[in-house]
Amino acid sequence: MSDTPSPNQNRLLAALSDSVRARTFQYLEYVSWPLGTVVQESGDDAHYVYFPTDSIVSLLCVAMDGGSAEISVVGKDGVVGIALFMGGGSTPSRAIVQSAGGAYRLAGKYLQAEFNHSDPEFRRLMLRYTQALITQMAQTAYCNRHHSIVEQLCRWLLLSLDRLDSNKLVMTHELIANMLGVRREGVTEAAGTLYRAGAIEYQRGKITVVNRQKLEEICCECYAVVKRETDRLMAGGDDQPGV
Q: Quickly count helices (H) and strands (E) in the chain.
A: 10, 10
Sorting pLDDT into bands at 50, 70 and 90, what band is 193? very high
CA pair distance 43, 90, nearest whole angstrom: 6
Higher local confidence (pLDDT), 199 or 42: 199
Task: Output the pTM of the full model.
Answer: 0.90
Would you state the pLDDT for residue 240? 46
**Average of per-residue pLDDT values in the chain:** 89
Residue 243, pLDDT above cutoff 50: no
| CA torsion through residues 222, 224, 227, 233, sign | negative
Sorting pLDDT into bands at 50, 70 and 90, what band is 239? very low
Stretch 68-93: mean pLDDT, rounded?
89
Q: Helix, strand, or coil here: 61?
A: strand
Residue 133, pLDDT above cutoff 80: yes
Would you state the pLDDT for residue 91? 81
Residue 238, pLDDT above cutoff 60: no
Question: What residue segments make up the domains of the chain, in order of their start?
Answer: 10-119, 144-228
Would you state the pLDDT for residue 236? 59
Of the candidate CATH numbers 2.60.120.10, 2.60.40.1290, 3.40.50.720, 3.40.50.620, the domain formed by 10-119 belongs to: 2.60.120.10
Q: What is the pLDDT of residues 27-80, one digit of tens each?
A: 999 999 998 899 999 888 889 999 999 999 999 988 888 777 889 999 999 999
Phi-psi domain of 202 (left: phi exceeds 0; alpha: psi -120 through 50; beta: other): beta
CATH topology of domain 144-228: Arc Repressor Mutant, subunit A (1.10.10)
DSSP single-letter state for residue 36? T
Percent of the residues in the chain that have a pLDDT greater than 70, as a whole number: 95
Would you state the pLDDT for residue 94? 92
Would you state the pLDDT for residue 237? 44
Q: Measuring CA to CA, how many Å separate 226 from each of 65, 78, 161, 231?
A: 30, 14, 14, 8
Stretch 184-211: mean pLDDT, rounded?
92
Q: Measuring CA to CA, how many Å separate 19 from each of 27, 51, 103, 238?
A: 14, 18, 22, 24
- What are residue 137's phi and psi, to 5 degrees? -60, -45
Would you state the pLDDT for residue 1? 44
Q: Name, in order, each residue with C-beta under 8 angstroms of 71's C-beta and a sequence gap of 6 or more.
A: 59, 60, 61, 93, 137, 140, 141
Q: What is the pLDDT of residues 142-162, one digit of tens each?
A: 998 899 999 999 999 999 999
Stretch 104-122: mean pLDDT, rounded?
88
